[in-house]
């Protein structure tokens, strides 16, 4: 008796995905709940688990594009979830397809190293959505996926491979945003001295009390919420020929990953303390490392914050995240000469950029919004007193 392993529905609009890696080998004994494969869709990566114990028989190889409901493997009952041994193991090895073995030549080592780098965990300081590292036994399969999807020319000057479902979705979204919205960007700069001084003075006590570090992003989330309350015209979206006014404050935080752009959403940010916001952000980082960011984490959002400063960006014009009407771009903190009370002094400055949909947000409203963000960052006591 065998149980079919089918690709489950992972979202209303998701119809297919790519098997990015098998976490078990053909012929392996598996137990109920074991992670079998990682499926990459145009929205998220998700792990497919075993619904029963038995011996795994793979039908669709890593790198294949599969549809929702498609059978990609079977689990033959009787293995009991224990590793095969004796005659059973010999029979499994005899019937299983030949698998590549570890080659110790110097020619394949760089390739294997590159394969591992595709799935390596990421630091918590830059949360991303990426699949977890696969077992060593799957390294050769990962290498096979790379060699199958990437086709080098005879000269070796270029490598050609298919876009991932997520990358195709990102491309379509960005082009759609440019074609459907009248995007305009306004700029300003913020003196980060106040926030940096507060973090230096209270950071250690904050961490002792709440068990988490106080970062910059929680200040900007708070500042954006305050600005949205002050300028509600920015908290809108266009649906057909209707303008929808949002009365909630779910803030997306855009992060760049090796797989592409992800925007996890902090829910009800206006009701959360700095500690709660930092825990949410840390939670997204943990989910990213474990490859567990789901559609619920990415859906919704009324406004997005994008921090290009962590990569060293000094200035940029962020693109809207449809159907939202505004996005704030943070940038690198850099000491620059500024005039304070008639004297030229060096201050840690950050350029801020706000892109907005000019169809529904006027320039006056966008500039006012960005100034409110600037004021809140330069005087963080405003955020604490909500003024």
Half-sphere exposure at residue 333, Cβ-oriented, CA atoms within 13 angstroms: 12
Helix spans in the chain (H): 86-95, 109-117, 139-149, 165-180, 193-210, 217-230, 274-290, 295-298, 363-378, 381-385
Burial class of 242 by CB neighbour count within 10 A (0 to 12, 13 to 18, 19+): exposed
CA distances from 248 to 229, 301, 354 (A): 10, 9, 20
d(CA 265, CA 249): 10
Q: What is the CA radius of gyration of the chain?
A: 25
Active site annotation includes 362: yes
* Residue 357 DSSP symbol: E
d(CA 278, CA 216): 9
Q: How many helices (H) and strands (E) does the chain have?
A: 10, 20
Active site annotation includes 270: no
How many Cβ atoms sit within 10 Å of the Cβ of residue 284? 23
CA dihedral 67, 68, 70, 76 (to 10 degrees): 140
Q: Per the residue annotation, which of 205, 268, 296, 362 is the catalytic one?
A: 362
CA–chain centroid gap for 48, Å, is: 19
Region for 341 from its dihedrals, namely left if φ exceeds 0, alpha if ψ lies in -120 to 50, beta otherwise: left
User: What residues act catalytically?
Assistant: 358, 362
């Amino acid at each position: 008796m065998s149980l079919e392993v089918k690709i489950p529905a992972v979202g209303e609009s998701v119809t297919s995905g790519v098997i990015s890696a098998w976490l078990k080998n053909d012929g392996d004994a598996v137990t109920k709940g074991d992670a079998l494969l990682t499926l990459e869709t145009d929205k998220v990566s998700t792990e497919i688990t075993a619904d029963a114990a038995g011996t795994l028989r793979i039908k669709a190889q890593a790198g294949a594009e599969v549809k929702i409901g498609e059978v990609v493997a079977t689990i033959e009952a009787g293995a009991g979830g224990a590793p095969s041994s004796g005659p059973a193991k010999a029979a499994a090895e005899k019937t299983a397809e030949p698998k590549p073995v570890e080659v110790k030549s110097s020619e394949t080592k760089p390739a294997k190293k590159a394969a591992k780098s595709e799935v390596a965990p990421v630091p918590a300081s830059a949360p991303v959505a990426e699949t977890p590292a696969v077992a060593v036994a799957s390294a050769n399969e990962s290498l096979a996926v790379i060699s199958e999807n990437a086709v080098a020319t005879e000269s070796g000057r270029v490598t050609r491979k298919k876009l991932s479902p997520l990358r195709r979705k990102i491309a379509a979204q960005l082009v759609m945003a440019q074609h459907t919205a009248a995007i305009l960007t306004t700029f300003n700069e913020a003196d980060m001295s106040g926030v940096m001084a507060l973090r230096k003075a209270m950071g250690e006590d904050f961490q002792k009390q709440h068990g988490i570090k106080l970062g910059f992003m929680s200040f900007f989330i708070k500042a954006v919420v305050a600005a949205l309350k002050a300028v509600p015209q920015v908290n809108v979206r266009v649906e057909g020929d209707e303008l929808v006014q949002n009365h909630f404050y779910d803030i997306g935080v855009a992060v760049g990953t090796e797989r592409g752009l992800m925007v996890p959403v902090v829910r009800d940010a206006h009701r959360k303390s700095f500690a709660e916001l930092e825990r949410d952000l840390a939670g997204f980082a943990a989910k990213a490392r474990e490859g567990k960011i789901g559609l619920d984490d990415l859906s919704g959002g009324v406004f997005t914050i994008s921090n290009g400063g962590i990569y060293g960006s000094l200035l940029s014009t962020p693109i809207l995240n449809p159907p939202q009407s505004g996005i704030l771009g943070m940038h690198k903190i850099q000491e620059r000469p500024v005039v304070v009370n008639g004297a030229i002094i060096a201050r840690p400055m950050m350029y801020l950029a706000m892109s907005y949909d000019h169809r529904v947000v006027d320039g006056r409203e966008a500039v006012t919004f960005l100034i409110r963000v600037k004021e809140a960052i330069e005087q963080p006591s405003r955020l604490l007193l909500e003024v």
